């Protein structure tokens, strides 16, 4: 019994030391694999950055849950529905959303919610990046000055629109083929694509996008978000919109 007691104490001490070492070690957040989704025409897009790349403005835990659970769930729901509705595999996501009224009534709401969520989040990951932020340049800067009153006014108006969204939703900047911009908030997972409008970029103001870090301080999240906007990517989307090739 005595030998057992000595062994146990050593084991506990060893475990304690290991636990302390683990706690002291820096956490490395790799892009976790998304849960296996039903095979189908829809897939989770791969981000070009790791989950911790946008810290401190968006924390790694939020990015991981947002991408691997929320967005993955929209994709899974779409693929499940597509198994019994071949029409969903015959059109692009943008086309499905633009023609919601033509879909069978039994899947219309599902596509609105999950298709909108898939499109919105696919855009969202694309327009952010590590080492981003700052101010737009070139054609995007000129369009913001021309159509939205300049960058400072635009940021203030964008944040105010985000605060006015009651409950869950998004704030978008739309763009037409002439390059004209407009500010457009939307509820839930609704997308301007549903009104045959193109999305230049937008911010997610659902609580799942910010609550772990900011709790109820949506205003702080909206202000911090400018630090991760990748204006080079936004510029590429602007050029694609004018060329008529911007999808979602």
| Answer CATH for 59-248 from 3.55.40.20, 3.30.565.10, 3.30.70.20, 3.40.50.970 | 3.55.40.20
> pLDDT tier at 37 (50, 70, 90 boundaries)?
low
Q: Is the pLDDT of residue 106 over 70?
A: yes
Percent of the chain, pLDDT > 90? 83
Mean of the pLDDT values across residues 123-147? 97
- The tens digit of pLDDT for each residue in 50-105 reads 999 999 999 999 999 999 999 999 999 999 999 999 999 899 999 999 999 999 99
The mean pLDDT value for 132-149 works out to: 97
User: Percentage of the chain surpassing pLDDT 70?
Assistant: 85
Q: How many CB atoms lie within 10 A of CB 189?
A: 22
What is d(CA 13, CA 21) in angstroms, rounded to the nearest whole number?
Answer: 12
Tens digit of pLDDT for each residue in 156-189? 999 999 999 999 999 999 999 999 999 999 999 9
pTM: 0.85
Cα separation of 189 and 167, whole Å?
A: 12
**Any idea which of 11-20, 39-48, 237-246 has the lowest mean pLDDT?**
11-20
* Domain extents in the chain: 59-248
- pLDDT, residue 39, reads 80
Long-range contacts from 166-170, C-beta under 8 angstroms, 24+ separation: 168/205, 168/206, 168/207, 169/205, 169/206, 170/120, 170/202, 170/203, 170/204, 170/205, 170/206
Whole-number Å distance between alpha carbons of 121 and 209:
11
């Amino acid at each position: 019994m005595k030998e057992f007691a000595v062994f146990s104490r050593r084991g506990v001490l060893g475990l304690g030391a290991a636990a302390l070492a683990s706690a002291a070690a820096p956490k490395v957040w790799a892009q976790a694999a998304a849960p296996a989704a039903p095979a189908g025409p829809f897939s989770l897009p791969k981000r070009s950055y790791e989950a911790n790349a946008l810290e401190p403005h968006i924390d790694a835990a939020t990015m991981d849950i947002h991408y691997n659970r929320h967005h993955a769930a929209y994709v899974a729901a779409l693929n499940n529905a597509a198994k019994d509705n071949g029409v969903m595999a015959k059109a692009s996501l943008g086309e499905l959303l633009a023609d919601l009224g033509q879909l069978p009534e039994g899947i219309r709401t599902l596509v609105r919610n999950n298709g909108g969520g898939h499109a919105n989040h696919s855009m969202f990951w694309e327009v952010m990046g590590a080492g981003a932020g700052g101010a737009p340049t070139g054609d995007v800067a000129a369009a913001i000055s021309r159509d939205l009153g300049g960058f400072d006014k635009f940021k203030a108006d964008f944040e105010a629109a985000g605060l006015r969204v009651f409950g869950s939703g998004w704030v978008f900047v739309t763009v037409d083929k002439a390059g004209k911009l407009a500010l457009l908030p939307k509820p839930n997972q609704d997308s301007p694509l549903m009104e045959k409008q193109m999305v230049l970029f937008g911010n997610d103001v659902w609580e799942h996008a910010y609550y772990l870090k900011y709790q109820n301080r949506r205003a702080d999240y909206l202000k911090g978000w400018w630090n991760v906007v990748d204006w080079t990517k936004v510029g590429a989307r602007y050029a694609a919109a004018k060329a008529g090739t911007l999808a979602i």
